[in-house]
Chain A
């Protein structure tokens, strides 16, 4: 499939519009749910860490440290991608699958248009902006943790900020964004494959969307393991 996605390009003026539309559908329209989930999960991580710190010898700055590490290393890139497999992945599969069952893809092919390039290439380009979403998720997750920790009375602003700065390795951010890039490509291609090659009617579009979520999640988790093994161990 990927080989054909990059062949016989659609007219550039049309492709520009398609890319802008996909950026709007896949990236901009995901900002709300990403912001909401990140903010509150960041808050919960902060509270949970604070409630589990019973030993008075452990500094309160650990709350900020744990929040930062959890969010930057796993929550924002990996678990947000699983959530996006549900939101963006299902959207991609169902929209392409609906086009398949209503012969819209056949119509493109009959007109001499490379339907894979027309439908999938703009999604791949749009998902190059996926790290932008994850950066926002990181910021809002930590900010939510800060507000919950400080205004919930679990730590002070100074301690939390101290924790955020403790033993910070910039490479952790590089690692997070490298895997975010791969997850973005998985989110663009696996659901597209599920939708494009589906057969049947409306019921099968629903099944393909479910399969898309399951397979995208599995591939993200496995890729996460492999990248972590390669870059961090």
Chain B
């Protein structure tokens, strides 16, 4: 479980996060949603330690990050898997080496053992026979899968995903969403996904945190999001014609 307690973050005079508190539960896919510029990615980067907060505290399993010594922080980072928006695969390495990278850095296994684990996770994300290709030789969807494989190869306890569907066609996006949810359940890990894709909200949004201008304005599940009266949330949810039409049909049916 991850707990965020009253965190603020500013860049100069620009206050991006304004006292956000939320809890992200183990074994669930937790979504941070909101419009562009609402502070979703900044919040995620604060949680994974790429940004330091100005105030407030972030707890991993009741341990505050700011109270951890360097060794504890390092150990925590080994428990974190991250799927970046663009994949962030290392261009100079082939797929096999990309996925093996965390193992090479943190385990003392021999190469055949590491290769066995790499092949296992590549198979898990439905990628086989791509070991010797380079990131520039595979599609966007495959890059996301490789990135997921790299994120889970070390059996992390926390999985963070920054807009995992950006740049993907709807079908591939759904496959990636399902993959993230399946991995969360199989490994009983805490997954936090930043997205503004309503399909993802419907597919995997077990716990949703809605941000607007750096403030948490609503939280609930994907079932509750369609029933809420919160104007900010309904503006966001029904900004798409498709969802407007679904709502109109539902109103007519009732």
Chain A interface extent, by class: 10 to 19
Instruction: Kindly state the separation between the CA atoms of A106 and B89 in the bound complex, as whole angstroms.
Output: 11
Chain B minimum-CB-distance residue to A21: B92
User: Closest CB-CB distance, B23 to chain A, in whole Å?
Assistant: 21
Instruction: Kindly state the separation between the CA atoms of A11 and B78 in the bound complex, as whole angstroms.
Output: 14
| A residues 92-138 touching B (CB-CB < 8 Å) | 98-99, 102-104, 106-107, 109-113
Indicate the member of B45, B76, B88, B91 with the most A CB atoms within 10 Å.
Answer: B88
Chain A minimum-CB-distance residue to B79: A112
Question: Using Cβ atoms and an 8 Å threshold, which residues of chain A touch B76?
Answer: 112
Instruction: Kindly state the separation between the CA atoms of A106 and B104 in the bound complex, as whole angstroms.
Output: 18
Chain B minimum-CB-distance residue to A14: B104
In-complex Cβ contact of B88 among A13, A106, A113 (8 A): A106
In-complex Cβ contact of A112 among B77, B84, B88 (8 A): B77
Instruction: Kindly state the separation between the CA atoms of A113 and B49 in the bound complex, as whole angstroms.
Output: 12
| B residues 122-171 touching A (CB-CB < 8 Å) | 160
Instruction: Kindly state the separation between the CA atoms of A98 and B77 in the bound complex, as whole angstroms.
Output: 24
- In contact, A103 and B88 (Cβ under 8 angstroms): yes
Question: Using Cβ atoms and an 8 Å threshold, which residues of chain A touch B105?
Answer: 10-11, 14, 111, 113
29 residue pairs from A and B, CB less than 8 Å apart: A8-B74, A10-B105, A11-B104, A14-B104, A14-B105, A102-B86, A103-B84, A103-B85, A104-B91, A106-B45, A106-B50, A106-B88, A107-B82, A107-B84, A107-B90, A109-B49, A109-B50, A110-B50, A110-B160, A111-B77, A111-B78, A111-B80, A111-B82, A111-B101, A111-B105, A112-B73, A112-B80, A112-B106, A113-B105
Q: A14-B105, A107-B88 are in contact. List 16 more A-B contacts (CB 8 A).
A: A8-B74, A11-B104, A11-B105, A14-B104, A102-B86, A102-B88, A104-B88, A109-B49, A110-B48, A110-B49, A110-B50, A110-B82, A110-B160, A112-B76, A112-B106, A113-B105
